[in-house]
Chain A
Amino acid sequence: MAEVLPAEGLLATSWLLIALPLAGAAVLLLGGRRTDRWGHLLGTGTVVAAFLLAVLCTVRLADVEGRSVDVDLFTFISTGELDVRAGLLYDPLSAVFVLLITGVGALIHVYSIGYMAHDPARRRFFAYLNLFVAAMLLLVLGNSYVALYVGWEGVGLASYLLIAFWYTRPGAATAAKKAFIMNRVGDVGLALAIFVMFAQLGTTSYEGVFGAVGTLAGGTVTALGLLLLLGACGKSGQFPLQAWLPDAMEGPTPVSALIHAATMVTAGVYLIARSAPIYDLSETARTVVMAVGALTLLIGAIAGCAFDDIKKVLAYSTVSQIGYMFLAVGLGPAGYVAALAHLLAHGFFKAGLFLGAGSVMHAMHDQVDMRRFGGLWNKLPITFGTFGLGYLALIGFPFLSGFFTKDAIIEATLDRDDWLGWTTGGVAVLAAGLTAFYMTRLMLMTFFGRPRWEDGVHPHEAPPVMTVPMVALAVGSVFSGALLVAVFPLSDWLEPVFGEPEEAEHVIEPFIIGIALTVIMALGVLAAWLFVGRREVPVTAPVRVSPVTRAARNALYADTINESLFMRPGQWLTRALVWVDNRGVDGAVNGLAAGLGGSSSRLGRTQTGFVRTYALGMLGGAVLVAGALLAVTSG
């Protein structure tokens, strides 16, 4: 890592990035109904302001030597040997994330003004959204694992609150709980990793940990890597903790776009990229990261083919695309930049796709079943256009963003030239074909074919406050890949963090891979057209399907596995504990109480009230005392 200078001038005010949305959230939550009328504007304003500040900060950062500054704030925890300074680290990696979060965040805030216009709780929505932005910025700006953890839990809280935003719907409440609990599983890993760092190194700051991690035993480093990976898997919806993310789509669509597509779920990628010095020391941990990524991207792609709920398909697509990013960060120095480039591009096109889906739902009375869509391309022209561009970017249509960033990941994987590289690379190529299939299926079912609308639905285009952000994101989807790879290479910008990019020795020439992937993509599109586009789409899903389809529809039985492996035994355990508590513990306590009461009454009979009894008792006591003393001294 480059040397970190103390922040000066404008960069010293970068704490405002977090403070602005946090203040927005505080005003909206504490201000109550009085802020109903202008609350959404305040919420949007704080994030837009944060974005402008982030842009200025990043421009200034480019001139700083080493492009990394440290903003020391205050002492967070000081007890015994633990001394945690709260501070921010503004470096190229966090700057990239700050721009993504505030930029996409600002667009989605604007979109939400329209999307949530008729919701009576719009102010609360903006308050939570601001809270999320503040927590997410703290997550990426903190200069220690403890600060990251605070942000990590903060985004978890905001995610929980927003998934359950319509908490009167049982589905939303259940989904929020599911997300919360599965995230806890991952958070345990992150917390344990922090404990290990403190126990072994006595510090949790990035500087301290990365400076000393080399002194640790190999096993400890691997354990750290795996624990961090568990945390990352929870937050990013990776195998085996992927099942909460599709259910999280019960939240309002802007939430799905911002939190469950563009930003929060990529926090796992950030965590692993940030912890690069740890992973660089453990080949085992990296291999596991790659395996998790490859497995997840395949699971997500397969499940995405089978669902009829437009948001769930996009959610599985997110799971799958983050799998690509995990695969890339697992590669080590060869893959960090590719992963982050894909992360940024994905932030644009997936947010755009979700906003498009939101626009479709807006038009279709909150219908999410694609079997009830169809023929919308001319009713919703702007949505169709922006959605289509996002779609092309995602499937890797040549020269759109996904083409550059996804190809880079697959290239880097194959460049390993070992069994792991070939296996995971092959999976990634296969999944690229599946991605083309399921996204084409989605396009065909939504925008083409005969309208299968429910009665009384009259689709209409969304207002400009919603379409403008969609257009902006579509522009990003188209150009971000080329920008990041060719015009302003991300690898140069991130050089202070990940070091000089090595000139890779290609096993297969990149242009051959590009052509091959384009062919595979075309095959996927063709297959989708053959299976879906050519035929009439039934309004209800066919029941008699192959076992493969059934498995895919059940998301490869992830929920069933979780339930039978963890939930049921957990329930049995709690039931057994309740039984033990009722019968065993309570029984013992009540029995003891009854026993004591009984012995109390029995003993009480010695209290006869007669002096002669008392005197006899005293005499007996004295004899005992004297006898015992004699026995002790003579014995």
Chain B
Amino acid sequence: MIDAPDLSLAALAPLLFVFGAACIGVLVEAFAPREVRHPVQVAVALVGTGGGLAATIVYAATHEWGGGAGSVTAAGALAVDRAGLFLQATVAGLAVLAVLLFAERSLDPARSAFVASAAVPAGSPRDRDQLTATRVQTEVYPLALFAVGGMMLFVTANDLLIMFVALEVLSLPLYLISGLARRRRLLSQEAAVKYFLLGAFASAFFLYGLALVYGATGSVRLGEIRQSLAANDGDVLVVLGLALLVVGLLFKASVAPFHSWTPDVYQGAPTPVTAFMAACTKVAAFGAILRLLYVGFGTEEWTWRPLVYGVAIVSMVVGAVLGLTQTDLKRMLAYSSIAHAGFLLTGVLGLGADGEGSGLAATMFYLLTYGLTTIGAFAVLTLVRDGDGEAGHLSQWAGLASRSPLTAAVMGLFLLALAGIPLTAGFTGKFAVFRAAIEQGAWPLVLVAVLASAVAAFFYLRVIVLMYFSPPAADGPTVGVPGVPTTVVLAVTATATLALGILPGAVLDLAEQAARFVG
């Protein structure tokens, strides 16, 4: 007789909402007539992600902040705790913004950033036909919803196996939608294949690590692994397993030296997808890293601390230095993302020996600010266009401020935030993670981080200098008039970037309260 596992539907509601919407999306794709498919899909996706966000908030308010202390449900597979809910809400909220970017129809003459029929060989006569046709592809919405669901599962996974499943659920749709760009299709397809191959490689690392840890501790539950490690001295198997698990996760978080896919994929993927990946995947991957290290290997802190220390330095330096010579804005933002991954790892180190320390809160706050800012920055990239689609080359942005002051101002704000200039969200986030790291005595790391920030500031500010102080190019790009969805995204992200820079108190407090894992 097998007992039915305990399932708390309330705790699972956010996940169910998103996955349910994804399934409905598949059905819509199959049965809804072509004319109405796009609006219906957008509505389903927005309801799915927005509903996921709402469900998370409602559950958090009624259970966790209503006196609960976190619960482990679904036979111990899921840990629905404050930190998990905060990260779920972050993922869902950023996903709403990303879906809005997907739904933008007024910028591209062909009414969408996605190719109508991805199976048509690039460059063939049929491909040329569909470049001008206004047929819109809508499979991206359910795919994105599955990815969002996977991410939300990822950050609450209390079990290495569930974590692996979630990793795949979030990754596979991303591989696909990376290859769906309407323009520069070969680049996009190449990016998708690269991402898939390397992602598979990384998954293999993760899986192997999982097996080794199971072999050493006899469990895949994070809590049980922790107990087992506390009881016995860690042996070689555990250390190797930890290393491989971490490699798998660092790949998703695009941390150097596991970053090499990032620039190519960020550049090749359709820009809304890049925004989605840069923001949501980062949150999910760091959520998993935090949970794995803090919960599963919290007692082995002195094992992984030097590892994170070193990787953080490599990532910051590689991101900042390589970003210097980029001439394509999307690639530049990709290297920026690598550098930011290093800054985030600085916050991960802010775990005290007694399990206290503000590292968790700081890292979660940073994830939120970085996600908002980076989605905003990519949204601006979709506006500046020439005949071939988006004008991503730096030289094309020269003198943009004289042509379109508002666009330049908004982009300037996001770049300042990415550089970590005070009065923007980026500064508050950096300050929080650096303080958390210094509290744990990691000041040499923070020193490197500050130097890397200074180097990285160069390439952010260079764009501002180009926009404001260079004469506009004669055949420069045009700045598209964004439709409602992109306008909403820009307004929300710009406002949040400023608000979290000037009055971050409430959100910092929330992150502080949310900094609690269970299990």
Contacts and interface: CB of A to CB of B under 8 A. Distances in A.
Contacts of A601: 325
Interface in B221-279: 234, 236, 239-240, 242-244, 246-247, 251, 257-258, 260-261, 263-264
Contact of B243 (A614, A617, A622): A622
B202 interface: yes
Contact of B239 (A609, A621, A622, A633): A633
B239 A629 contact: yes
Nearest to B325: A600
Contact of A604 (B197, B244, B325, B458): B325
A611 B303 contact: no
Given A596-B321, A614-B261, A622-B244, A629 B455 contact: no
B59 interface: no
A613 B264 CA distance: 13
Contacts of B240: 626, 629-630
Nearest to B201: A615
A311 B189 CA distance: 89
Contacts of A622: 205, 243-244, 247, 258
A632 B306 contact: yes
Given A618-B202, A621-B247, A622-B247, A603 B261 contact: no
A423 interface: no
Contact of B257 (A600, A607, A609, A617): A617
Contacts of A628: 306-307, 310
A554 interface: no
Contacts of B263: 607
Contacts of A632: 303, 306-307
A626 B246 CA distance: 10
Contacts of A621: 247, 257-258
A620 B243 CA distance: 13
A611 B324 CA distance: 23
B258 A629 contact: no
A574 interface: no
B304 interface: yes
Chain A interface bracket (under 10, 10 to 19, 20 to 34, 35 or more): 20 to 34
A629 B318 CA distance: 21
A599 interface: yes
A605 to B, nearest CB: 10
A615 B321 contact: no
A606 interface: yes
Classify the interface of chain B: helix, strand, loop or mixed. Answer: helix
A630 B251 CA distance: 20
B325 A597 contact: yes
Interface in A578-635: 593, 596-597, 599-601, 603-604, 606-607, 609, 611, 613-615, 617-618, 620-622, 624-626, 628-630, 632-634
B239 A596 contact: no
B189 to A, nearest CB: 13
Contact of B234 (A599, A604, A633): A633
A630 B198 contact: no
Interface in B452-489: 455, 458
A505 B455 CA distance: 78
A272 B463 CA distance: 59
A347 B321 CA distance: 70
B194 interface: yes
Contacts of A611: 193-194, 197-198
B264 A618 contact: no
B324 A626 contact: no
Contacts of B458: 593
A625 B247 contact: yes
A563 to B, nearest CB: 42
Contacts of B260: 606-607, 613-614, 617-618
A604 B243 CA distance: 27
Nearest to B323: A600
Contacts of B325: 597, 600-601, 604
Given A607-B263, A622-B244, A630 B236 contact: yes
Contacts of A614: 194, 198, 260-261
A629 B264 contact: no
Interface of A is mostly: helix
Interface string B70-86: 00000000000000000
Given A611-B197, A618-B201, A633 B257 contact: no
A463 B218 CA distance: 111
Contacts of B322: 600, 603-604, 607
Contacts of A606: 260
Interface string A194-227: 0000000000000000000000000000000000
B258 to A, nearest CB: 5
B500 interface: no
Interface string B304-331: 1011001100000010011111000000
Nearest to A621: B257
Contacts of A597: 324-325
Contacts of B244: 622, 626
Given A596-B324, A600-B325, A625 B194 contact: no
Given A606-B260, A632-B306, A626 B194 contact: no
B289 to A, nearest CB: 13
Chain A CB within 10 A, most for which of B261, B307, B311, B325: B325
A328 B477 CA distance: 80
Nearest to A612: B197
Interface string B167-191: 0000000000000000000000000
Contacts of B307: 625, 628-629, 632
A415 B243 CA distance: 92
Given A613-B260, A614-B261, A621-B257, A630 B239 contact: yes
Nearest to B202: A618
A617 B202 CA distance: 12
A628 B264 CA distance: 29
A624 to B, nearest CB: 8
Nearest to A614: B260
A185 B328 CA distance: 55
B201 A629 contact: no
Interface in B119-154: none
A629 B238 CA distance: 10
A625 B258 CA distance: 11
Given A597-B324, A625-B311, A609 B242 contact: no
Given A618-B251, A622-B243, A626-B240, A603 B264 contact: no
Contacts of B234: 633
Contacts of B321: 596, 599-600, 603
A325 to B, nearest CB: 52
Contacts of A599: 321
A632 B303 CA distance: 7
Contacts of A607: 260, 263-264, 322
B196 to A, nearest CB: 10
A630 B194 CA distance: 30
Given A597-B325, A600-B322, A600-B324, A618 B236 contact: no
Contact of B197 (A600, A615, A617): A615
B247 A609 contact: no
A626 to B, nearest CB: 4
Give the residue among B304, B307, B324 with the most A Cβ atoms within 10 A. B324
Contacts of A634: 236
List of 3 A-B pairs having minimum Cβ-Cβ separation, nearest first: A621-B257, A614-B260, A626-B243
Given A596-B455, A614-B194, 14 more contacts: A603-B321, A604-B322, A609-B264, A611-B193, A611-B197, A620-B257, A622-B205, A622-B247, A625-B307, A629-B240, A629-B304, A630-B239, A630-B240, A632-B306
17 contacts: A604-B322, A607-B264, A609-B264, A611-B193, A611-B194, A611-B198, A614-B261, A617-B260, A618-B198, A621-B247, A621-B257, A622-B244, A626-B239, A626-B247, A629-B239, A633-B234, A633-B239
Interface of A: 593, 596-597, 599-601, 603-604, 606-607, 609, 611, 613-615, 617-618, 620-622, 624-626, 628-630, 632-634
